[in-house]
């Protein structure tokens, strides 16, 4: 970190100045550097202790065999070989994550946009509707997942009861490997409030004149959406997609709670919970880090999976940084 | 301006100090060795000491029983106090043992023997052999051989049996009478026939199901079913035999046949999703939702407490038709107890473990209270042991020479989980090719063990 | 949901309908009015349908929470008897009040520490000019996007093995005294919008940077600080992974989110009690939202729009 070195302030004006002025400026520069450092100090510590150090350690552990007792022993690429070649669950987790990225993220963005559009069209009771639509986003993930596990319980849940009454097929939801991810997607769409608000704000920001001009040109509602709305909000869609992908890389709580509750052995002593229930269909990479590290105590392999997760997350983040220079905007 | 600047200077120095100490702490993140031979501290020398004991019991009656046991111990050893923490699963035990520290347990018990290999090979538990020797306890003359076997790993006796568990058949006598069945089935073909006759449909579900064969149906797990077959699991060189031992494939096919016969996976799974909790009065056998169940001997206690409105009885679980002569066998396991190597009070901890596992009165009264199979010869023969017919079934299963357990492996029960996962895939139809599935599972098991070595 | 009954008949008429003021209503204007009415009905039916989708889970959870043990296992929608005592039972569950206390401690202390430690950093990143500023900002964003699982193994070993803080929530609270990336980022985005002149003016008045921050910037940034505080509070309240790693082996350190899941484990199909507990975990968050709705929505908007 060269943050402390000097500030740019006044640097341009120093060149031909007389010694006393130079001295004064140097002192001023040093003071400014000290001030910057002081303001940044909490985070500098946080960054080193809670990011840099554990990241380097994770890399180190990924090349060792370590089970928490004794000390790590260097084993070269053995853990990497194990995770990539002998741990089928790893690829299953990766495939599940890809499924969630493709289906869950896109459905959530489309649904959020739809609800955002709907809100801007509502004439009566906007405030009430907005609150209703937003509320589920606030439900703590564990509570929301437990509630959905109840609603979607194949035996006693109201959803399947209702589906049966109107003669529709009754899926096994969280208990059926083919339906567990769709059930999680439904849960994610229920909590779409954050996207709704973002889309709503950006839709209201679209200049009215553009719509009026399009209307004068004889554009119908669909054309107006295509040629006026979309170009205006496309950066927000991009933002929603990228942050959605990043959130999905971290997808953990809902998947693990759904699996535990539906798997039927949440918290039963002596029984270890079966991760990814049913049939590994809800495995995600973060869960695998937990399972390998804190249930199987294979820290080395857990660190390999953690690093894969890190590389993917940072790759997606760099897309976000490149596409949205606004992220890095400054006022000078 | 000056006061502010100096404040920043000062805070900068503080920052440096804080950073420095953080770096020191980080550097210390190297290794902490596990302690060597246990029991040599002075924690049992007479001064007051409190040891922490973690166990998995959670039902009221069971918690009371273990607490009574602790009270008896504290009475005999007034200077040693035991702080008991219940309802703890094995992964939490493992995590806490690694962390060590003041809150970590001194004495730990686990409901399964699955993790003994891990506890011993990682030296999470201390080897109890020197302590047994010091107190002149001959383990071979105290504990039944099978139990002594599943509490050690490659010669390291890092745990001792604290009561045993055996698995058998529970059946609803009223349902049997209603269906005109007089005797419990002895072979799998009789069993399939009986299960079918006991099944009563209701709508597109069941009013009463003969037997819940799905692997998620509580104790109907792969390793418990395999106890009726007696497979090898591993060959002499420690390689998995699940793909080569025909008994494994035979069991998976038998269960799959039963699933199809009783209505198919989807229908059964839907029924299962509405089951009450296993360790509660809502257990599907208690409620009459299922007429037969595979379960451990502790169920006799819960049934006696909950008093369902039907008569019930126990018998050994049936065996495959081609192994008729082994009838009477069952899967055998038990609760184990060990001393954490991170404990600084190992001498006191040993006194407690010794009491729990070898004091005949303690073992018998605990076995009577929670209806588990006693784990010492003396206790098994004790006249104080209350054993009604239903409970005796399990004592006999435990004594049966054909009864088997799952072997201890260096990475714990990982291989059981792998096989169980194949079971889930096979019963649901997700894996159609059993031979390929077994080969892949064997490879996965071998890779995981090689990785852990 | 009686929202559909609030249809105001005059609503469509409020739209500018040129040419209707004088003389007979033209056919074109009538068609336009009819289309507007249809449009209104379509939009509001959709809105009601959406509202049902968002609200029904709460309604079902609530109805189940007051059912008797037996009825909760059936597929009934409507309770035959209203067992309000279920809520009392949940409160009397051993540990439930401890979970509340722990969650409040974690969320409350965590939020205060986050604000105090993140604000100066955000201010420096927004208003100071120094070499490496973009690098620092990139690092903040990288940290913000980092899944917590990536660094959990060394972090766990550090807290539990080296510092002996396993079985407590301190490993989750202490790091918040060293800046939270998301809060820093959000605050910085807002501080960028404060005109430089205000700050220069404060400097000319002889204020030091710290005093400028406290006297000038903080009052102007109140909405953003409120939003960040809410986000952080919610984050802590909802956190499951952290307590699962650090606090799970000590029942006395459990939080609501973690305890709720085990509550489900212990009361397997007592769905009535489980739903009552679930609603009790949701309630504070939702109450807080009603009090601070504006700050919250502004905060969400800030994350996406003002980027």
pLDDT tens track for A26-61: 888 888 888 889 999 999 999 999 999 999 999 999
How high is the pLDDT of residue C14?
A: 42
Q: At residue B125, does pLDDT exceed 50?
A: yes
Q: At residue A271, does pLDDT exceed 60?
A: no
Q: Do C75 and A252 touch (CB under 8 A)?
A: no
Q: Do B276 and C166 touch (CB under 8 A)?
A: no
Segment C278-286 shows an average pLDDT of: 88
How high is the pLDDT of residue B134?
A: 93
Residues of A in contact with B415 (CB under 8 A): none
How high is the pLDDT of residue B28?
A: 38
Crossing angle of helices A299-323 and A78-85, in 10° steps, is 80
Q: Could you tell me if C38 and C88 are in contact, meaning their C-beta atoms sit under 8 angstroms apart? A: no
Q: At residue B429, does pLDDT exceed 70?
A: yes
Q: At residue B273, does pLDDT exceed 70?
A: yes
- Which among B275, B94, B289, B117 is positioned nearest to A270, based on CA atoms? B94
CB pairs under 8 A between A and C: 326
Helix (H, G, I), strand (E, B) or coil at C214: helix
Segment A124-133 shows an average pLDDT of: 89
How high is the pLDDT of residue C287?
A: 87
How high is the pLDDT of residue A268?
A: 39
B438 vs C26, which has greater pLDDT?
Answer: B438
Residues of C in contact with A152 (CB under 8 A): none
Per-residue tokens: B257: 């046949």
Q: Cis bond leading into A52, ω under 30°?
A: no
Do the bridges between strand B107-110 and strand B160-172 make them parallel or antiparallel, or are there none, so unpaired?
A: unpaired
How high is the pLDDT of residue B357?
A: 95
Probe site for chain A from C130, C241, C267 (most A CB atoms < 10 A): C130
How high is the pLDDT of residue C296?
A: 72
- Which among B138, B143, B160, B142 is positioned nearest to B151, based on CA atoms? B160
How high is the pLDDT of residue A21?
A: 82
pLDDT band at residue A243 using 50, 70 and 90 as cut-offs:
confident
- Which among B342, B397, B431, B351 is positioned nearest to B146, based on CA atoms? B397
Q: Do A87 and B447 touch (CB under 8 A)?
A: yes
How high is the pLDDT of residue A129?
A: 92
Q: Do A270 and B414 touch (CB under 8 A)?
A: no
How high is the pLDDT of residue A138?
A: 87
What residue ranges in chain C does DSSP mark as E strands?
Answer: none
| Surface of B (4-23) touching A: CB under 8 A | 5, 8-9, 11-12, 15, 18-19, 22
Residues of A in contact with C262 (CB under 8 A): 266-267
| Surface of C (239-298) touching B: CB under 8 A | 248-251, 266-269
Residue count of chain B? 453
Q: Cis bond leading into A228, ω under 30°?
A: no
pLDDT band at residue B189 using 50, 70 and 90 as cut-offs:
very high
Q: At residue C2, does pLDDT exceed 50?
A: no
How high is the pLDDT of residue A269?
A: 39
pLDDT band at residue A272 using 50, 70 and 90 as cut-offs:
low
Distance of CA A265 to the CA centre of its chain: 28
Instruction: Report the share of chain B in percent with pLDDT over 70.
Output: 90
Radius of gyration of chain A (CA): 26
How high is the pLDDT of residue A328?
A: 61
Shortest Cα distance, chain B CAs vs residue A130, angstroms = 36
A171-220 pLDDT tens trace: 889 888 889 999 999 999 999 988 998 898 889 888 888 988 998 888 88
Instruction: Kindly tell me the sign of the dihedral angle through the C-alpha atoms of C265, C271, C273, C275.
Output: positive
A46-99 pLDDT tens trace: 999 999 999 999 999 999 999 888 789 999 999 999 999 988 889 999 999 999
C158-192 pLDDT tens trace: 998 888 888 899 999 999 999 999 899 889 988 88
Shortest Cα distance, chain B CAs vs residue C244, angstroms = 10
Q: How many alpha carbons fall within 13 Å on the CB side of residue C194?
A: 25
Q: How many alpha carbons fall within 13 Å on the CB side of residue B265?
A: 18
Probe site for chain B from A37, A38, A158, A277 (most B CB atoms < 10 A): A38
The single-letter DSSP state of residue B175 is H
Task: Find the CB nearest A272 among B29, B91, B270.
Answer: B91
How high is the pLDDT of residue A7?
A: 39
Q: At residue B10, does pLDDT exceed 50?
A: no
A300-331 pLDDT tens trace: 999 999 999 999 999 988 887 776 555 666 65
Residues of B in contact with C157 (CB under 8 A): 29
* Other Cβ atoms closer than 10 A to A203: 18
Burial of residue A160, with CB atoms counted within 10 A of its CB: 0-12 exposed, 13-18 middle, 19 or more buried: buried
Q: Could you tell me if C190 and A53 are in contact, meaning their C-beta atoms sit under 8 angstroms apart? A: no
- Paired with B200 in beta bridges are B208
Residues of B in contact with A78 (CB under 8 A): 451
Residues of C in contact with A122 (CB under 8 A): 43-44, 47
Q: Do C50 and A299 touch (CB under 8 A)?
A: no
Q: Could you tell me if A324 and C307 are in contact, meaning their C-beta atoms sit under 8 angstroms apart? A: yes
Q: Do C278 and A198 touch (CB under 8 A)?
A: no
Per-residue tokens: B231: 């497979």
Residues of B in contact with A57 (CB under 8 A): 29
Q: Do C160 and B99 touch (CB under 8 A)?
A: yes
Segment A256-282 shows an average pLDDT of: 70
Can you tell me the distance from the alpha carbon of B185 to that of B315, in angstroms, rounded to the nearest whole number? 9
Q: Could you tell me if B104 and B97 are in contact, meaning their C-beta atoms sit under 8 angstroms apart? A: yes
Probe site for chain C from B83, B95, B203, B217 (most C CB atoms < 10 A): B95
How high is the pLDDT of residue A156?
A: 75
Minimum CA–CA partner of C53 in chain A? A190
pLDDT band at residue A246 using 50, 70 and 90 as cut-offs:
confident
How high is the pLDDT of residue C295?
A: 75
C70-92 pLDDT tens trace: 787 677 888 888 999 999 988 88
What is chain B's mean pLDDT, rounded?
85
Per-residue tokens: C81: 């008897």
Q: Could you tell me if A94 and A309 are in contact, meaning their C-beta atoms sit under 8 angstroms apart? A: no
Q: Does B197 touch chain A (CB under 8 A)?
A: no
Q: Could you tell me if A195 and A240 are in contact, meaning their C-beta atoms sit under 8 angstroms apart? A: yes
Which residues, at least 6 apart from B72, have a Cβ–Cβ distance to it below 8 Å? B355, B361, B362, B365
pLDDT band at residue C268 using 50, 70 and 90 as cut-offs:
low
Segment B160-166 shows an average pLDDT of: 92
B25 vs C39, which has greater pLDDT?
Answer: C39
Which residues, at least 6 apart from B180, have a Cβ–Cβ distance to it below 8 Å? B197
Do the bridges between strand B49-54 and strand B107-110 make them parallel or antiparallel, or are there none, so unpaired?
A: parallel
pLDDT band at residue B7 using 50, 70 and 90 as cut-offs:
very low
Task: Find the CB nearest C151 among A39, A58, A150.
Answer: A58
C99-133 pLDDT tens trace: 999 999 999 999 999 999 999 999 999 988 888 89
Q: Do A135 and C138 touch (CB under 8 A)?
A: no
How high is the pLDDT of residue B355?
A: 95
Q: At residue B166, does pLDDT exceed 70?
A: yes
Q: At residue B177, does pLDDT exceed 90?
A: yes
Which residues, at least 6 apart from A47, have a Cβ–Cβ distance to it below 8 Å? C139, C143, C179
Residues of C in contact with A329 (CB under 8 A): 192, 307
Task: Find the CB nearest B451 among A57, A153, A298.
Answer: A298
How high is the pLDDT of residue C60?
A: 92
How high is the pLDDT of residue B428?
A: 87
The single-letter DSSP state of residue B33 is P
Q: Do C164 and B29 touch (CB under 8 A)?
A: no
Q: At residue C194, does pLDDT exceed 60?
A: yes
């Amino acid at each position: 970190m060269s943050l402390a070195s000097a500030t740019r302030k006044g640097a341009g004006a120093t060149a031909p100045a007389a010694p006393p002025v130079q001295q004064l400026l140097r002192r001023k520069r040093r003071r400014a550097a000290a001030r910057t450092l002081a303001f940044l100090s909490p985070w500098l510590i946080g960054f080193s202790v809670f990011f840099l150090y554990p990241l380097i350690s994770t890399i180190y552990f990924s090349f060792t065999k370590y089970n928490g007792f004794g000390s790590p022993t260097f084993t070269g690429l053995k853990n990497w070989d194990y995770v990539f070649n002998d741990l089928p669950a790893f690829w299953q987790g990766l495939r599940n994550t890809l499924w969630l990225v493709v289906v869950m993220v896109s459905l959530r963005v489309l649904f959020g946009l739809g609800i955002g559009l709907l809100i801007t069209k509502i004439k009566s009771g906007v405030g009430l509707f907005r609150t209703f639509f937003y509320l589920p986003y606030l439900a703590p993930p564990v509570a929301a997942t437990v509630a959905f596990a109840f609603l979607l319980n194949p035996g006693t849940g109201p959803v399947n009861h209702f589906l049966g009454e109107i003669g529709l097929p009754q899926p096994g939801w969280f208990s059926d490997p083919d339906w567990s991810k769709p059930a999680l997607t439904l849960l994610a769409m229920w909590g779409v409030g954050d996207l709704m608000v973002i889309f709503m704000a950006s839709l209201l920001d679209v200049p009215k004149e553009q719509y009026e001009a399009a209307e004068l040109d004889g554009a119908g509602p669909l054309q107006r959406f295509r040629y006026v709305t979309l170009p205006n909000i496309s950066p927000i869609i991009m933002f929603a997609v990228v942050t959605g992908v990043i959130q999905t890389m971290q997808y953990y709580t809902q998947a693990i709670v759904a699996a535990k509750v539906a798997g039927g052995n949440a918290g039963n002593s002596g029984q270890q919970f079966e991760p990814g229930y049913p049939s590994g269909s809800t495995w995600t990479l973060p869960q695998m880090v937990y399972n390998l590290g804190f249930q199987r105590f294979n820290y080395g392999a857990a660190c390999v999976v953690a690093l894969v997760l890190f590389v993917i997350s940072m790759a997606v983040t760099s897309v976000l940084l490149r596409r949205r220079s606004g992220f890095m905007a400054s006022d000078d | 301006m000056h006061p502010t600047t100096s404040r920043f200077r000062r805070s900068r120095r503080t920052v440096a100090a804080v950073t420095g100490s953080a770096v020191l702490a980080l550097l210390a993140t190297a290794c902490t060795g596990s302690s060597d031979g246990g029991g040599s501290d002075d924690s049992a020398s007479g001064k007051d000491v409190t040891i922490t004991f973690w166990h998995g019991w959670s039902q009221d009656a069971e918690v009371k029983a273990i607490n009574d046991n602790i009270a008896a111990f504290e009475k005999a050893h007034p200077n040693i106090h035991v702080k008991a923490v219940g309802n703890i699963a094995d992964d939490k035990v493992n995590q806490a043992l690694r962390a060590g520290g003041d809150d970590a347990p001194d004495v730990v018990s686990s409901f399964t023997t699955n993790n003994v290999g891990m506890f011993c090979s990682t030296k999470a538990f201390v080897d109890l052999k020197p302590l047994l020797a010091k107190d002149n306890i001959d383990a071979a003359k105290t504990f039944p051989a099978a139990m002594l076997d599943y509490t050690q790993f490659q010669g390291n006796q890092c745990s001792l049996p604290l009561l045993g568990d055996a698995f058998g058949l529970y059946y609803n006598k009223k349902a049997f009478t209603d269906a005109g069945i007089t005797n419990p089935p002895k072979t799998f073909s009789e069993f399939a026939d009986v299960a079918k006759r006991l099944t009563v449909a209701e709508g597109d579900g069941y009013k009463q199901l003969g037997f819940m064969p799905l692997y998620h149906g509580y104790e109907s797990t792969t390793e418990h079913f395999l106890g009726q077959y007696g497979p090898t699991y591993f060959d002499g060189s420690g390689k998995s035999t699940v793909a080569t031992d025909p008994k494994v494939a035979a069991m998976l096919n038998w269960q799959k046949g039963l699933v199809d016969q009783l209505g198919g996976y989807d229908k059964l799974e839907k029924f299962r999703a509405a089951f009450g909790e296993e360790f509660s009065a809502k257990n599907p056998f208690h409620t009459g939702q299922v007429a037969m169940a595979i379960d451990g001997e502790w169920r006799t206690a819960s049934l006696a407490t909950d008093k369902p409105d039907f008569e019930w009885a126990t018998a050994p679980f049936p065996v495959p038709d081609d192994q008729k002569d082994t009838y009477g066998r069952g899967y055998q396991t038990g609760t184990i107890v060990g001393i954490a190597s991170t404990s600084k009070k190992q001498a006191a901890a040993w006194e407690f473990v010794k009491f729990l596992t070898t004091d005949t009165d303690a073992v018998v009264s605990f076995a009577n209270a929670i209806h588990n199979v006693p784990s010492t010869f003396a206790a098994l023969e004790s006249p104080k042991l209350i054993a009604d017919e239903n409970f005796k079934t399990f004592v006999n299963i435990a004594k049966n020479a054909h009864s088997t357990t799952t072997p201890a492996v260096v990475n714990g029960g990982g291989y059981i989980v792998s096989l169980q996962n194949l079971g889930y895939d096979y019963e649901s139809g997700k894996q159609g090719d059993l031979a390929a599935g077994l080969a892949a599972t064997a490879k996965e098991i071998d890779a995981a063990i090689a990785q852990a070595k | 949901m009686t929202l559909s009954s609030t249809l105001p008949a005059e609503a469509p008429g409020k739209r500018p309908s040129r040419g209707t003021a004088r003389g007979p209503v033209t056919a074109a204007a009538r068609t336009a009015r009819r289309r507007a009415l249809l449009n209104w009905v379509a939009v509001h039916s959709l809105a009601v349908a959406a509202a049902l989708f968002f609200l029904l889970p709460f309604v079902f959870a609530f109805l189940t929470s007051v059912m008797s043990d037996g009825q909760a296992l059936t597929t009934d929608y409507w309770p035959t008897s209203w067992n309000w005592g279920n809520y009392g039972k949940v409160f009397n569950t051993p540990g439930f009040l401890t979970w509340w206390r722990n969650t409040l401690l974690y969320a409350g202390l965590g939020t205060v520490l986050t604000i105090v430690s993140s604000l100066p950093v955000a201010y420096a990143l927004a208003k100071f000019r120094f070499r490496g500023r973009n690098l620092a900002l990139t690092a903040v964003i990288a940290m913000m996007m980092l899944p917590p699982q990536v660094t959990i193994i060394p972090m766990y070993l550090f807290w539990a093995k080296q510092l002996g803080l396993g079985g407590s929530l301190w490993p989750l609270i202490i790091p918040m005294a060293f800046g939270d990336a998301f809060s820093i980022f959000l605050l910085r985005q807002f501080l960028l919008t404060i005109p430089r002149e205000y700050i220069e003016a404060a400097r000319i008045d002889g204020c030091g940077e710290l005093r400028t921050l406290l006297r000038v910037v903080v009052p102007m940034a109140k909405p953003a600080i409120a939003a960040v505080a809410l986000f952080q509070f919610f984050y802590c309240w909802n956190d499951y992974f952290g307590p699962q790693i650090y606090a799970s082996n000590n029942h006395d350190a459990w939080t609501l989110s973690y305890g709720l899941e085990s509550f489900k484990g212990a009361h397997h199909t007592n769905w009535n009690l489980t739903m009552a507990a679930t609603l009790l975990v949701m309630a504070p968050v939702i109450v807080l939202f009603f009090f601070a709705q504006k700050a919250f929505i502004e905060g969400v908007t800030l994350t996406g729009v003002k980027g």
